[in-house]
Structure 1
Amino acid sequence: MSSLPRYRRALLLVLLPFLLLAGVGVLAAEPRPFEARYHLEVDGWPNATIEHRLSRDGTQWLSDMRADITLAQGRERSRFLAGEAVRSLHYASGYSLLGVGKRYALDHEALARLPDRQAALFELSRRATAAECTAPCRLRYLDHRGRETLVEYRLLPRTALSLPAGNFEAVRVEVIEPDEPDRQLRFSFHPGVPGLLLAMEYHRDGERRSRLSLSELDLPPR
């Protein structure tokens, strides 16, 4: 099972999206609830289904992402406010792989300065759509253990995507960690629905190692 850590990393990269540019204002797109389902392919491992739901609870928003396959289970949840900037209120995540797993949680005190990664996914999509940053853009966030991490991202040209869920225009972002430049995450977002991921690819050493694509979408009318 030497490839087990690689599969766990690929799963967590999808279940635990991150990134938020701290302390910079952005033209806030209006949030919209949605339910999305994705097909995940990881080299050398069974394909998986990922579910992502964004819902409203009064003035707060709830983001819930989960996966459940033969070998692994994972879930990540975030509660946040979505004004001009995102403010995280609570975060929880956990995963289990071959019966071994862990759980994590961050409260509002831990999240007072930087956001969690689910709220960050929402905000990153808004910033990418606004296209206000000139590469390289530097980002800081709290990972699932509450550790501050710095990454960089750059905007890629928009493109048309033909996916099982339909045809979409995509806002694209490439993300790297400065100390691991051989690894890249390429996100494709819906330009009009903050936080709605259309596709994602994980590249390492110039090769694509995993791919996520939108297979079903429930987007209620405004």
Structure 2
Amino acid sequence: MPLPLRHRRALLPLLLLPWLLLASGAVIAAEPRPFDARYHLEVDGWPNATIEHRLSRDGTQWLSDMRTDITLAQGRERSRFLAGEAVRSLHYASGYSLLGVGKRYALDHQALARLPDRQAALFELSRRATAAECAAPCRLRYLDHRGRETLVEYRLLPPIELSLPAGDFEAVRVEVIEPDEPDRRLRFSFHPGVPGLLLAMEYHRDGERRSRLSLTALDLPPR
């Protein structure tokens, strides 16, 4: 039985919508580092939730795992990728459950040969934000959870000092929009020295903030 449309739309912010993105090309940026992060997510009309994000190394490959679990909904995404001058996705899997009904998705290396998945994209977007190499508007292409190619645009915002439950950070920021949905905007704040580490996020629609994410705990092993 498919989920009602209003439930599917409500679930998207809980799964952080787009950890969307990636563009092709090389980036000179900080080396990847493993981390365990925990976030507090506030979404209009929903109970607050906890998001967990782990980036770990498996030989020459990197594994990104992000999940949430609240009373009514669960969601998880996993990505395996290589992180050289450009990110290369190898495998992606995701799934959600809302009110006992859900779906699962997967993309293999053949499906991801041309464009990356959105978990690997979050990692690469943070490197591009740190490198500050693109003048607005920058265009990105990625594969969504169903393997559909999507185009978005982003622009770099001025750095900002953030005081979060996990500590004080200087953040690099990016604003992302979909050309077909200009009233919807995502503002990401990244750690400048740890690729893929999200410090905060805000989702705006129709000029109002609809959801907010903030880092509450961080385990960053020494190099």
**TM-score, reference length from structure 1:** 0.94
Mapped to 2, the partners of 1:21 and 1:15 lie a distance apart of 16
1:28 Cα offset (Å): 3.3
Structure 2: state its 5+ residue gaps. none
Equivalent pairs, count: 219
**How much has 1:160 moved relative to structure 2?**
0.2
Q: Is the 8 A contact 2:22 2:118 kept in 1?
A: no
Asked if structure 2 preserves the Cα contact closer than 8 Å seen for 1:19 and 1:140, the reply is no
Counterpart contact for 2:22–2:116, Cα < 8 Å: no
Q: Is the 8 A contact 2:75 2:96 kept in 1?
A: yes
Distance 1:192 1:91, change over 3 A: same
Superposition deviation, residue 24 in structure 1: 1.9
Question: Which residue number in structure 2 is paired with residue 109 of structure 1?
Answer: 110
Please, what is the CA RMSD of the aligned residues? 1.5
Q: Deviations over 1:170-217 (max 9, x none)?
A: 100000000000000000000000000000000001000000000000
1:45, distance to aligned residue in structure 2 (A) = 1.2
Shift in Å, 1:221: 0.5
Judging changes above 3 Å, is the alpha-carbon distance between structure 1 residues 173 and 33 closer, same or farther for their aligned structure 2 residues?
same
Tell me what 2:10 maps to: 10
Show the counterpart of 1:157. Answer: 158
Q: What is the CA–CA distance in structure 1 between the aligned matches of 2:129 and 2:173, rounded to whole Å? A: 7
Q: CA deviation at 1:44?
A: 1.6
Tell me how far 1:22 sits from its aligned partner: 2.9
Task: Please list the CA deviations of residues 103-151 of structure 1 after superposition, one character each: whole Å capped at 9, or x if unmatched.
Answer: 0000000000000000000000000000000000000000000000000
Q: 8 Å contact 1:154–1:173 — kept in the other structure? A: yes
Q: Tell me if structure 2 keeps the 8 A contact 1:21–1:124.
A: yes
Given that 1:16 and 1:76 are in contact with CA atoms closer than 8 Å, whether structure 2 keeps it comes out as no
Q: Is the 8 A contact 2:22 2:120 kept in 1?
A: no
How far 1:15 moved relative to its partner? 3.9
**Percent of aligned positions with the same letter in both sequences?**
92
- 1:34, 1:85 → 2: CA distance? 20
Structure 2 Cα separation of the partners of residues 104 and 93 of structure 1: 5
In structure 1, the partner of 2:122 is 121
Q: Which runs of 5+ in 1 are unaligned?
A: none
8 Å CA contact retained: 2:165, 2:215: yes
- Preserved CA contact (<8 Å) 1:10 1:210: no
CA deviation digits over 1:47-105, x for unaligned, max 9? Answer: 00000000000000000000000000000000000000000000000000001110000
Aligned-partner SS, 2:196: coil
Q: 1:157 to 1:81 in 2, by over 3 A?
A: same
Rounded Cα–Cα distance in structure 2 between residues aligned with 1:57 and 1:24? 24
| 12-21 vs 154-163, which moves further | 12-21
Determine the C-alpha separation between the residues in 2 that align with 1:23 and 1:58. 24
SS of alignment partner, residue 160 of structure 1: strand
TM-score, normalised to structure 2, is 0.94
